[in-house]
Amino acid sequence: MKRPTEHRSGRAITLGTAAVLLVGALGAARTEIHGQPAPTPAAAAAPSEAEARGKRVYDTHCVECHGRTGRGDGPASPMLVPRPRDFTTGRYKLRSTETGSIPTDEDLLRTVRQGVYGSAMPAWEKVLSDADIQDVVVYIKTWSPRFATERAASVALGAQVPSSPESIARGQEVFAKLRCGSCHGTDGRGTGAIATEFEDDRKQPLRAADLTEPWTFHGGPAARDIYLRFRVGMTGTPMPSFAGAASDADMWDLANYVVSLARKPVWSMNAEEITALYAREAAEAKADPIRRGKYLVDTHLCAVCHSPLDRDGKIMPGMKLAGGQLIRVLPFGDYPTCNLTSDKETGLGRWTDDQIKRVITTGIRPNGVRLPPFPMDWSAFSAMTPDDLNAMVAYLRTVPPVSNTIPEMTRPFLPMYLWGKFKMLVLQDDPPIMFYSGNVGTRGGAR
């Protein structure tokens, strides 16, 4: 089978092929002259063979999120929290090196091999060969000039304090002293936190880790992983380094305390614990419907259609949930997606709660037009509990307004409409549903 991502566009193939050929030719020339492969650190010189191989791996597996230019702006990126890494800055969260420095090769390899828990970054060691992973790390380092000029050295870890009730108790004091609770909550779950939703240095959304769920810790769940995050911080995020504020022993105690906060995951629970967990989640959803609604909107595909797309299929900047994607349902007409932001004139601002719920659950718009059951999946949403529906509406009310006037749905020319239906009903032809890039709304230009 052909790797589908390899031929995203003809131009990309040509450019990619040219680059590979060029790199191959240079590599061959160097080998002839020196009789050995090019030396690895010379990033300013011609690309090495490993780099060329790494580029191929990158172009096949990484562009969907990290983008063709390595800026972390691939087509999928607007959907993801945390956002994919921008390789051009040389700034990395998961390091074993001092704050502000570049990570070691081993840090990068580890991230690619194991993935980033609690994000969309998978453990590539399950899919790619280790040689591929080493090559791709060589390649992603070429995005930033910092790797050519700076040296990375892991910090010396202080002597590990083994976990014990005393260490955990001391860790709890450190937790209070360093005010970890202002972001992570006094219980590690965000309770009493000043805020748990943040932005990173690129103004991208980010949330504070829930310390009771170690399977979501980006850097890993072991005490050593947690210690490292305190020791060197997470560059670009509000998580600072505590190297000056706490001793090594303090940080190990704190790591032991954080490990001790872990609760059982659902896959290790018994039936009573599972029931209690789901009851707790339902109670929390009721107490904070906007948070629950955001979760529902984020996981129920809303933004996939209700946002205008550029040619790569990426949501246009700042237009998430602003509608304007054109969906043509042959032979029934063009259905531009609605603006779901809270804009009074062009979005849901003037819709009543009942009107929103009615279209979500029955596909009947306020003007009486009925939507087909696909791609707007109102029949699936009709199975949502009333609480979840209310939460979804409550969250949609809080989406910042974006003005984007969406045209009404249009029917095709009558004879075409009849001919289409004739083909569908009598000739049993299979009518397609077509998705278009661009924005048919008033903002962002037509396709």
Helix runs in 144-270, H state only: 146-149, 165-177, 181-184, 223-232, 248-260
Query: Do 70 and 88 form a contact (C-beta atoms < 8 A)?
Result: yes
Which residues sit opposite 333 in a β-bridge?
Answer: 329
CB of 173 or CB of 429, closer to other proteins: 429
Q: Interface with other proteins includes 75 (CB under 8 A)?
A: yes
Closer CB to other proteins, 33 or 287, in the complex:
287
Find the radius of gyration of the CA atoms of the chain.
26
Identify the residue among 178, 384, 394, 409 touching other proteins (CB under 8 A): 384
Write out the binding residues for other proteins, residues 400-419 only, by CB under 8 A. Answer: 414, 417-418
The contact pattern for other proteins, residues 109-138, with x = CB under 8 A and - = no contact, is ------x--x-xxx---xxx----------
CA 266 to chain CA centroid, nearest Å:
23
Residues 337-376 that bind other proteins (CB under 8 A): 361-364, 370, 372-375
Using CB under 8 A as the binding rule, whether residue 215 contacts other proteins is answered as: yes
CB of 180 to other proteins, least distance (A): 22
d(CA 294, CA 397): 11
Q: Are 207 and 197 in contact (CB under 8 A)?
A: yes
CB of 207 to other proteins, least distance (A): 11
- As a whole number of Å, the end-to-end CA separation of the chain is 32
Asked whether position 424 contacts other proteins by CB under 8 A, the answer is: yes
- Cβ(171)–Cβ(255) below 8 Å: yes
Tell me how many residues contact other proteins (CB under 8 A). 87
Three-state DSSP at 398 gives: helix
Q: What is the dihedral of CA 262, 267, 268, 272, to 10 degrees?
A: 100
- How far apart (Å, rounded) are the C-alpha atoms in residues 126 and 119? 16
Choice between 3 and 177, CB closer to other proteins: 3
Q: Decide whether 119 or 160 has the Cβ nearer to other proteins.
A: 119
Interface with other proteins in residues 135-154 (CB under 8 A): none
Q: Does 299 bind other proteins (CB under 8 A)?
A: yes
Residue 394 binds to other proteins (criterion: CB under 8 A): no
Q: Is 332 in the site for other proteins (CB under 8 A)?
A: yes
Please report, as residue ranges, which positions from 45 to 74 form the binding site for other proteins (by CB under 8 A).
60-61, 64
Evaluate whether 218 touches 119 at the Cβ level (below 8 Å): yes
If one asks whether residue 202 binds other proteins (CB under 8 A), the answer comes out as no
* Type of residue at 421: K
- Selected from 80, 249, 262, 394, the binder of other proteins by CB under 8 A is 80
Nearer to other proteins, 68 or 231 (CB): 68
Q: How far is the CB of 279 from other proteins (least distance, A)?
A: 11
Cα(280)–Cα(142) distance, rounded to whole angstroms?
Answer: 47
- Tell whether residue 262 is a contact of other proteins (CB under 8 A): no
Stretch that binds other proteins, among 139-147, 155-163, 223-231, 273-281 (CB under 8 A): 273-281
Distance (Å, whole) CA 348 – CA 434: 25
- CA pair distance 389, 293, nearest whole angstrom: 8
Which residues, other chains included, contact 424 with Cβ-Cβ below 8 Å and sequence gap of 6+? 331, 430, 431
Q: How far is the CB of 432 from other proteins (least distance, A)?
A: 4
CB of 155 to other proteins, least distance (A): 30
216-255 residues in contact with other proteins (CB under 8 A) are: 216
Spell out the residues 6+ positions from residue 428 whose beta carbon is closer than 8 angstroms to its own.
Answer: none
Q: Which is nearer to other proteins, 38 or 305 (CB)?
A: 305
